[in-house]
Amino acid sequence: MADKFENFSDLLRSALGDRLAPADNLLDMFAEEVVFEFPYAPDGLPKRLHGKAALAAHLERLGPLLSFGKMDLGSVHAAGETVIFEFSCNGQGADTGAPYNQDYISVVSLRDGRIAHYRDYWNPLVVLAALGGSKAAAAAFAGAA
């Protein structure tokens, strides 16, 4: 049975367990030079972020576009400092009201108790539908909507 979480920070803490050093907030979980990748991101959305500042800017841009409900943590597979986990969430596009019901597989590598590399696999069609299509998604993410 999946564990349910109110936010992404708590889900990460559960998935990564004691490999993750204590952190006061989500951004503190990441190394300064973190690399965050979205291999399936559609055109107009970032495919790679480098550094904690870029991640913070991405989260600020994403926050107003999608509202997230509870997150369900599924399987967790750990091998040393690398953890692969599955999770899902329900939500909706903020402007469209369209559902955002997404399944993820994340591959996370840690260094010194911080997330150094995060590869996030998700269905781009779900994102596009929630944001109103590819042009709307690109415009909304760029701040032009």
Mind listing the pLDDT tens digit for each residue in 23-37?
A: 999 999 999 999 999
User: Containing domain of residue 36, as a range?
Assistant: 3-142
Please compute the mean of the pLDDT values over residues 104-127 and round it to a whole number: 97
Helices and strands in the chain, H and E counts: 4, 7
Nearest in space to 122 (alpha carbons), one of 47, 25, 49: 47
Find how far residue 4's CA is from the centre of its chain.
16
Quote the tokens at residue 131: 């944001």
Q: What is the pLDDT of residue 117?
A: 98
Please compute the mean of the pLDDT values over residues 40-64 and round it to a whole number: 94
Residues of the chain above pLDDT 70, percent: 97
Q: Taking the model in full, what pTM does it have? A: 0.93
Q: What is the pLDDT of residue 141?
A: 79
Sign of torsion over alpha carbons 77, 79, 80, 84: negative
| Residue 81 contacts residue 16 (beta carbons within 8 Å) | no
**Tally of CB atoms within 10 A around 7:** 12
Pairing of strands 30-37, 114-122: parallel
Q: What is the pLDDT of residue 140?
A: 82
CATH of the domain at 92: 3.10.450.50
